[in-house]
């Protein structure tokens, strides 16, 4: 029977599949959104009270009001750029980056490259 952490992990993974922000989008964000996303990229995940603490400790020129923070979090979550687990004070936020797409070359090209490379195994490969 899966435990609470397994269930949370599955919930996060399911939500990650629903979208995400690409590194290209980061440059287009508004200053307030970008501050939050940069913070989240470094911290990986943060609880709502911790986010409030960090934002309050920012230099005055960079600081967001609680209303600005809540509005940004809500918007980022709606777009699946942040994933929220739990509600209100107990919410935990996690950044959600979009997967880099693989090559769009025809799969036959990769199969033949693989076949050629398999013919030349590296020294310590099995």
Partner 1 sequence: MSEGKIVSIHSFRGGTGKSNVTANLAAQVAMTGKRVGVVDTDIQSPGIHVLFGLDDAKMGKTMNDFLHGKATIREIGFSIGENTGGGEGRSKLAGKNLFLFPSSIRGREISQILREGIDFNLLNEGMQTTISEFDLDYLFIDTHPGLNEETLLSIATSDVLIIILRPDNQDLQGTSVTVDVARSLDVPNLFLLVNKALPKYDFAEIKTTIEAQFQAPVTSVLPLSFDLAENASIDLFSLRYPDHEWSKALRNVVDFVLNAK
Sole residue written with tokens 């949370």 = 8
Task: Judge whether 36 and 28 are in contact, CB under 8 Å.
Answer: no
Q: Which stretch binds partner 1 (CB under 8 A): 1-9, 23-31, 67-75, 85-93?
A: 23-31
Q: Which stretch binds partner 1 (CB under 8 A): 1-9, 64-72, 74-82, 89-97?
A: 89-97
Residue 23 is a binding residue for partner 1 (CB under 8 A):
yes
Single residue of 41, 49, 56, 74 touching partner 1 by CB under 8 A: 41
Sole residue written with tokens 């922000």 = 21
119 φ/ψ angles, rounded to the nearest 5 degrees = -70, -15
Tokens for 92, please give them: 């935990």
Single residue of 2, 31, 59, 108 touching partner 1 by CB under 8 A: 31
């Amino acid at each position: 029977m899966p435990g609470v952490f397994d269930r949370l992990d599955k919930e996060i993974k399911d939500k990650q599949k629903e979208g995400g922000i690409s590194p290209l989008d980061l440059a287009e964000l508004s200053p307030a959104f970008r501050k939050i996303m940069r913070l989240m990229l470094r911290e990986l995940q943060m609880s709502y009270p911790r986010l409030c603490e960090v934002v309050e400790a920012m230099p005055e020129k960079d600081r967001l009001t609680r209303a600005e923070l809540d509005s940004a979090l809500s918007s980022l979550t709606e777009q699946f750029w942040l994933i929220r687990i739990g509600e209100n004070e107990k919410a935990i936020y996690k950044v959600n980056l979009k997967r880099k797409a693989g090559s769009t070359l025809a799969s036959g090209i990769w199969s033949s490259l693989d076949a050629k490379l398999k013919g030349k195994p590296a020294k310590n490969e099995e």
